[in-house]
Amino acid sequence: MLKRPFRIRSYSLIPSLSHKNNTQESVPNFESDKRFAQAVKRYERRVKGYEDAIEMSRQYKQHRLNLVDILQDKKNVEAMFANDAGCKITSFKDMCKDMKGHEGLTYTDVEMRNTMMLVANMLMENVKIDLKLRSVKIDHDIGSFIDEIKTSSDFVSLESYRLNFHHYKSSQWLSTSEGNTISQLGFAQPIVFKSAQYGDKEVIQSLETAFEDYATSNKKLSHIQLAVQVVKILLSPHNNIPTIKLWKYLLDKLGNCNLLNYQQIIYLSLFQYKHQPTVLADPSPATDSIFAPLMADHFAHLIQKDPEMLPSLLKYQLLRRDDKTFLELLSFLTLDKIAGEMSVIKSPLLSKSKYKLPTYIPGLDLEERLLTISRRSMYSIMEMAIELGLYQYLDLLFNKIVLHSRDQERIELNYVEDVLVEGRVFDEHLFSIMLDAAVKSNDLGRVVWLLPFVDEYIKEGSGINDALRKQLLTTLKFFNLEGKLKSYEEIFSKVY
């Protein structure tokens, strides 16, 4: 297997200070010596700050080691409880059992709690904007403009996003109640998790009820009522700590409801606080976006926790026709490895079409190994690539199934083990996807490559449903393959 070469990038923090005896071209082009001196002092302060942080980290580690050594001594631990003979609690598990049902015993997951708070606050801000616009009485054309709010991405400004991101992701909201979503909605305390167990069943069931009410409502402000209901559910006490499946659910449901404004709020809340220098940066003047471009690294923490998050993130980009970020997210499928293997593996099963390998082939190695996505998710990704017109990537995606399947249902993201997968590669859904791509891209070569596998599939006695039979015949007519068309019509008339 070919491996991508490892590259090291080097960045200089401080311009060269030794400019004596240098040529004129090597001297930094500062407007004045004063500005140069200021820059030097600024860099020196930064270096001093880094050195202080390193020293503090070293002291902390040493202090922690000393504390661990003390607590490893059984006599020291026993001395702490020498005057507490009546205490029957000897472990954390005993403490939880003894305090079961006690309202004061709560747990936390800082990142999940802060993300839930950020989503709740941004949703409420959006609701306020919506209601404020509806209260303004100007000419009648404002009505259609207001109705576009729920499908628009223009009602979250970079400035407000920066403020909210810093305030909630850094836990600053815990030190003040002013302007807080909790106080606005009458909640007396922050989000509470009543156990250390992770689970989404309860919160998703509550959200499902809210979305069912929205689907059956004919009220003009039903989307606002849905947003308020979602906020109340997020801020209510939870028996378990939700996982990122909560965000996958909301991304999918809001996208399906075409509430793209609310969906954007969920999406913008997914990044970690460590990402703030890049996600909050100014966008390039050459783009129309109000946000800086994102890379695959911004989503790695989500994919490593749940690879099935990938189709939901890709669908978000599809709804906005953002093929650039879509390709960045394909990095998690390590298509660069597929391209390398295609150059050395010769097999008729590898997909063939009129397209050459694309110039940009994304790939990203994750720290977590043996991460897999389902076949169903892979099919969904292929269908989205077709909808975006990224036909040149379809061969790579198909060959990912052929080369990196762990079994019949799972496909590895980072391919780390050679596993012989028994059984067929093709099924009716995959045939349909490849036929659809051939017609939409006018690619006769893809059909010619695919037909022998269709023949083999039929000879083995596998049934083909009505929809696929109709699609196959329509495809043959599209490419004027009269001989094959007549042959399949005869076969289908005898078998079906």
Q: Say whether 18 sits in a helix, a strand or coil.
A: coil
Sign of the dihedral defined by the CA atoms of residues 194, 197, 201, 203, in that order: positive
**CA 459, CA 290: separation in Å to the nearest integer?**
55
Whole-angstrom distance, CA of residue 34 vs CA of residue 88: 70
Read off the DSSP letter of residue 140: T
* Any domain includes 149: yes
Same domain, residue pair 139 and 246: yes
* Together in a domain, 277 and 136: yes
Whether 429 maps to a domain, the answer reads: no
Type of residue numbered 229: Q
**For position 30, what pLDDT does the model report?**
47
- Residue 19's pLDDT is what? 44
Looking at the domain assignment, is residue 97 inside a domain? Answer: no
**3-state DSSP assignment of residue 355:** coil
Dist. CA 447–CA 352, nearest whole Å: 9
* pLDDT given at position 23: 44
Residue 135 lies in a domain: yes
CA distances for 246 relative to 116, 167, 405, 438, 474, angstroms: 10, 22, 27, 36, 41
Domain identity same for 256 and 357: no
C-alpha distances (whole Å) from 202 to each of 90, 232, 246, 395 are 32, 14, 10, 41
- Domain endpoint, select from 423, 458, 487: 423
Give a yes or no: residue 30 inside a domain.
no
Residue holding tokens 């209601």? 131
In order of 72, 334, 396, 406, the CA distances from 341 in angstroms are 52, 11, 10, 16
Same domain as 328, residue 253: no
Q: How many independent structural domains does the chain possess? A: 3
Other C-beta atoms closer than 10 Å to the C-beta of 56 total: 10
pLDDT at 137: 61
* Number of Cβ atoms within 10 Å of the Cβ of 109: 16
Collapsed DSSP state (helix, strand, coil) of residue 153: coil
Domain boundary among 390, 423, 456: 423
Q: How many C-beta atoms surround the C-beta of residue 286 within 10 A?
A: 5
Token pair recorded at residue 134: 């509806």
- H/E element, 267: helix 260-268
Asked, for residue 51, whether it belongs to a domain, the answer is: no
Residues 280 and 300 in one domain: no
Whether 312 and 396 map to the same domain: the answer is: yes
| Tens digit of each residue's pLDDT (9 = 90 or more) over 107-154 | 889 999 999 999 999 999 999 888 888 877 655 566 677 777 788 877
341 and 398 share a domain?
yes
Asked if residue 460 and residue 314 are part of one domain, the reply reads no
Distance between CA atoms of 295 and 327, rounded to whole angstroms? 10
- Does 13 map to a domain? no
Q: What is the pLDDT of residue 397?
A: 97
Per-residue tokens: 73: 């001594």
Is 125 within a domain? yes
Specify whether 123 is located in the same domain as 166: yes
Residue 455 and residue 355 share a domain = no
What is the chain's percent helix, strand, coil content, to nearest 5?
60, 0, 40
Domain that holds residue 363: 294-423
Question: Which residues of the chain carry a pLDDT beneath 70?
Answer: 1-32, 81-90, 92-93, 95-104, 137-143, 177-189, 418-420, 422, 495-496
3-class secondary-structure state, position 81: coil
Domain end, chosen from 287, 312, 328, is at 287
Structure tokens at 20: 């004596």
Statement to judge: residues 137 and 237 lie in one domain? yes
Q: Are residues 419 and 329 in the same domain?
A: yes
Residue pointed to by tokens 């400004």: 157
